[in-house]
Chain A
């Protein structure tokens, strides 16, 4: 019994000390600020990147010689943002599947910059309106390839559910390096 009481007192003392040493709780405004997406926290920066993406958009002209449907897919304008540099390039969508409101995407940056971030997140930007749609972490797969798995907003999922990998994608990509 004495041991139990001593342990209990020790635990209470530790909790009290932790409470005294803990930093003050953040204010609600600060918490709300933290969960805002980055394009809302730095709108100018986002605008700059979105303009870059728009400039990269490729206009396709089909001088078709083959009656079969196009199997090459369409390149998606991509900006790769690293700490010290930015690369404007394109990506080829290798895998696109939506199931149960979740997007599974695999894309390859082409041509791949010399250094690609291994820890990064990707922002989907609507190609038509230049508005950011969602952001998700990416996993570097192999040379120049990234994998994404993310929950899609309902409207976006409904709009994209019939997309095929050979269709022109309604989004552009911003790949941003994430600090470790």
Chain B
């Protein structure tokens, strides 16, 4: 096995040993640039310098060194590997000799100029210019939380320590705290789905069938004997759709929470290093939202594999990473993840004048018209109001889908109808047992009470057929007047063509009358037969 770049290993081990011996204050990763500077000046041997110099004129060799840093050194030298580690090391090295002038440095520097999320930091007496839009460079060093610098380091600017810690806590809350529920329900209600085209079509067709079925049941022609088939089909399709929704959404949410917990574990033990393009002393915390989003982006770059298993995280963080250069953010970020209002007028002006910023995340507040002057730089600036970090992330991830929102609302409405009407549908499919007639009977001779022992009165009706009394049909319902009972009350009217004088002539039929919500269908089968004389002899009370 060939060990390459021994000089770099020499430096690394000198750095570690010197730190351990108390000669270097900062830990090897934290003080990489400083340590390299000292080692190169005083400790590197002539041979090592020659080897380093040999790389100066070969861009290919320099690139090979960068690749080695990423693929070999970063995996062997530190206990906690991350994809961002080599980028961090390179960023530090290229500030010092002899790396400053390397051609590969220039190329990498250009690549690194893919900007991150920008904060809007107004210079003193600035009315909002393009220079006030400041991209944030964030790198995450894993497993370095025990450093002396703290969990969030402002490398070349000063900020209130509380503001930096707030952004960190907000990110942790998003990964494993309450904020993740905010992401979850917003996605459930408003967000896109990751369905394959075939499944999406099938689901749409299914819900369409449910809608049609419900419409038929509520306002369509009476299905007659097809009613049980219709009800059964409706219930089956709806249950299937609900099951699919529960499984797919439940699976994605489970993956979302699990991936969030894993990322939170790593993030909690890592150090976030923030860098601005110039030295600032920040007054106020309006860059907090930008810091929070930058930290998320840094986490994604450090551990891209952790978010892979959750579509929601993968999509959100991929878009955050890929589109960062077009976004700016302003807003005070609390440790709970809420975004508080800030003064935005001049910041709007600054973003409008910036050529590359096309989206601005801001708190939910009334926008004051920007100060005078024409907006330059071209392009329209879209404002995205967000109340918390979860909301901001969903905006950046472009997960909101008006079409999906409409579908969600519609399916929720259909499901609500189904849930309310489910007892009726079940009764259509599994009709209740024929109810026996019970007391009380009517206390007067002018009416005939048919009291039934049933828990589903709306599902039955009674019919009187008699040679003496007029044909009558009545619904069964709960009567609260004394004596209270579930009964049908038939008003007796003598027929003009009565064929007999027997006042107790007549048959009362108990019929099933299916219903669904507010609709009653045509009567179904007859399930009970009682004579009038029998009914009259039931007790009155």
Residue of B21, B23, B42, B156 ringed by the most chain A CB atoms within 10 A = B23
Name the residue of chain A whose CB is nearest to the CB of B95. A142
User: Hey, what's the 0/1 contact readout for A6-43 against B, CB within 8 Å counting as 1?
Assistant: 00000000000000000000000000000000000000
B47 interface residue per 8 A CB criterion: no
Q: Determine the chain B residues whose CB is within 8 A of the CB of A106 once the complex forms.
A: 34, 37-38
Q: Is B362 an interface residue (CB 8 A)?
A: no
**In the bound complex, how far is the Cα of B21 from the Cα of A97, in angstroms?**
10
- Name B38's closest neighbour in chain A (CB-CB): A95
* B373 contacts across to A, CB distance below 8 A: none
19 residue pairs A–B, Cβ–Cβ below 8 Å: A71-B25, A71-B148, A92-B25, A95-B23, A95-B25, A95-B35, A95-B38, A96-B23, A97-B18, A106-B34, A106-B38, A141-B37, A147-B37, A147-B38, A164-B21, A164-B22, A164-B23, A165-B22, A165-B23
Complex partner residue of B34 from A96, A104, A145, CB under 8 angstroms: A145
* B31: Cβ under 8 A from any A Cβ: yes
Asked if B34 contacts A94 (CB within 8 A), the reply is yes
Q: How many contacts between A and B, using CB within 8 angstroms?
A: 46
Shortest distance from the beta carbon of A163 to any chain B beta carbon, whole Å: 8
Residue of B nearest to A99 (CB): B42
The number of residues on chain A lying at the interface, defined by a beta carbon within 8 Å of a beta carbon of chain B, is 21
Asked whether, in the complex, the Cβ of A111 is within 8 Å of the Cβ of B23, the reply is: no
The reply to whether the CB of A170 lies closer than 8 angstroms to some CB of chain B is no
Given contacts A72-B148, A142-B33, A142-B95, contact A95 B24 (CB under 8 A): yes
- A165 interface neighbour in B25, B42, B158, Cβ under 8 Å: B25
Q: Give the shortest distance, in Å, between B281 (CB) and chain A (any CB).
A: 9
Question: In this complex, what residue of A is CB-closest to B155?
Answer: A143
Please, how many residues of chain B have a CB less than 8 angstroms from a CB on the other chain? 20
Q: Is the CB of A94 within 8 A of B42?
A: no
Least distance between B296 CB and chain A CB atoms (Å): 28
Top 3 A-B pairs ranked by shortest CB distance? A164-B22, A165-B25, A97-B23
Chain B positions 488-535 with a Cβ under 8 Å from a chain A Cβ: none
Q: Mark B23-66, 1 if CB is under 8 A from A, else 0.
A: 11110000101110110001000000000000000000000000
Check A104 against B148 for contact (C-beta < 8 Å).
no
B422-434 CB mask vs A (1 if < 8 Å, else 0) is 0000000000000
Nearest CB in chain A: distance from B29 CB, A: 14
Asked if A73 is at the interface (CB within 8 A of a chain B CB), the reply is yes
> Which of A73, A104, A141, A143 is within 8 Å of B25, CB to CB?
A73
Q: Which residues of chain B have C-beta atoms less than 8 A from A164's C-beta?
A: 21-23
Closest to B37 in A: A141
Q: Please name all residues of chain A whose beta carbon is closer than 8 Å to the beta carbon of B96 when the two chains form the complex.
A: 142
A143: chain B residues at CB < 8 Å are: 156, 279
- Over the window 133-171 of chain A, the binary record of Cβ atoms lying under 8 Å from chain B Cβ atoms (1 yes, 0 no) is 000000001110101000000000000000011110000
Contact string, B91-108, partner A, CB cutoff 8 A, digits 1/0?
Answer: 000011000000000000
Per-residue CB contact flags for chain A residues 94-121 toward chain B (1 = under 8 Å, else 0) read 1111000000101000010000000000
In residues 76-102 of chain A, which contact B (Cβ within 8 Å)? 92-97
* Min C-beta distance of A162 to chain B, whole Å: 9
Q: Is the CB of A93 within 8 A of B156?
A: no
Distance, CA A143 to CA B96, complexed state (A)? 12
Closest Cβ of chain A to B282, distance in Å, is 13
The 8 Å CB contact of B22, one of A72, A92, A111, A166, is A166
